[in-house]
Amino acid sequence: MARQKTLAAGLYARVSTHDQQTLPMQLHTMREYAERRGWMIAREVRDIGSGATVRPLREEMLKAARRRELDVIIVWRLDRWGRSLVDLIGTLQEINTLGVGFVSLTEALDLTTPGGRALAGMLAVFAEFERDILRDRVKAGIAQARLDGKPHGRPESVQIYAEQVKKLHQVGVSKSEIGKRLSISRTSVRRLLEV
C-alpha cells in the first residue's frame, strides 16, 4: 500500500496593530490543528496591520501556494484572511483551482474535504450575486444622476479654456491671474499656451 504524502501547511495569522495579544493564541491553535492532522508546517506568517488594502505577507502566502510549496493554508478565522466577501471568495476560488486546501478553524470550514469544497462553490454563487447587486446599484445611480442633470464621468478637460487663456494672455494678463479667473491651475494655463 502506497504511503500518503505529508501535506505542507501554511499558517496565516493576522492581527490589527491594537490587538496583538491574540497572535500567540492563533498560532498555537493552528499548530495544534496541523499536528493533529499530521501536516508539516512549511510556512508561518504573522501579519500585523490594521485595515490595509494590500497585504504583502498574505500575497507571499498565495505565491507560495501558486509555486506548489503549500498543500493547505490554515487560518484562525475567515476575517483574518479576507478583506471583503468578494476578496475572500476570489482568493478561495484561486486556492481551490490550484488544488490547495484551505481551513478556517473558528468557522470549521475545511476545503480539504468534499463537503468543504461544495460549500466553497455555494459561497462563490453568493459572491457573484453580491457583485451583480452592486453593478445594478451603480447603473441605477448613474441613470438617476443623468435624470437629475448631474454630470457623470471624468471632469471636462481644461482644453475648453484654451481660447480664453490665449486671449487673456495676449492682453497681458499673467498666467497666475488667468488661472485664478478661470479656476484652473497655473500649470494648465502654461500648457495651454504652449500648444
Cell triple for 130: 453580491
H-helix or E-strand spanning residue 50? none
Number of domains in the chain: 2
The answer to whether residue 44 is domain-embedded is: yes
Distance from C-alpha of 175 to C-alpha of 161, rounded to nearest angstrom: 13
Residue 11's nearest CA partner among 63, 76, 85 is 76
Catalytic residue among 16, 84, 174, 185: 16
- Looking at the fold, whether 169 and 122 belong to one and the same domain comes out as no
Distance from C-alpha of 182 to C-alpha of 35, rounded to nearest angstrom: 69
> For residue 4, what pLDDT is reported?
65
Interval 156-173 mean pLDDT: 87
- Looking at the fold, whether 34 and 94 belong to one and the same domain comes out as yes
| Structure confidence by residue, pLDDT tens digits, 101-124 | 999 998 888 888 888 777 777 777
We report the CATH number of the domain holding residue 37 as: 3.40.50.1390
- Looking at the fold, whether 108 and 49 belong to one and the same domain comes out as yes
Q: Could you tell me what percent of the chain has a pLDDT over 90?
A: 28
The answer to whether residue 147 is domain-embedded is: no
pLDDT for 86 beyond 80: no
Q: Which residues are CB-neighbours of 78 under 8 A, at least 6 positions away? A: 88, 104, 106, 107, 109
Hey, which residues does 15 pair with through a beta bridge? 48
- Looking at the fold, whether 170 and 92 belong to one and the same domain comes out as no
Cα 134 to chain centroid distance, Å, stands at 16
**Domain boundary pick from 128, 145, 179:** 128
SS3 labels along 154-181 = CCCCHHHHHHHHHHHHHCCCCHHHHHHH
Cα 51 to chain centroid distance, Å, stands at 11
Place of cell 471636462: 156
> For residue 32, what pLDDT is reported?
95
Interval 19-45 mean pLDDT: 89
Can 157 be counted among the known catalytic residues?
no
- Looking at the fold, whether 90 and 27 belong to one and the same domain comes out as yes
Interval 41-61 mean pLDDT: 82
Model pTM score: 0.62
What Cα–Cα distance (Å) separates residue 161 from each residue in 157, 170, 178, 187, 188? Answer: 8, 14, 10, 13, 10
Distance from C-alpha of 131 to C-alpha of 19, rounded to nearest angstrom: 31
- Looking at the fold, whether 106 and 180 belong to one and the same domain comes out as no
Top pLDDT among 13 and 129 is at 13
Instruction: Tell me which residue range forms the domain holding 171.
Output: 158-194
169 in Cβ contact with 177 (< 8 Å): no
pLDDT band, residue 49 (cuts 50/70/90) = confident
Place of cell 448613474: 142
Distance from C-alpha of 89 to C-alpha of 1, rounded to nearest angstrom: 37
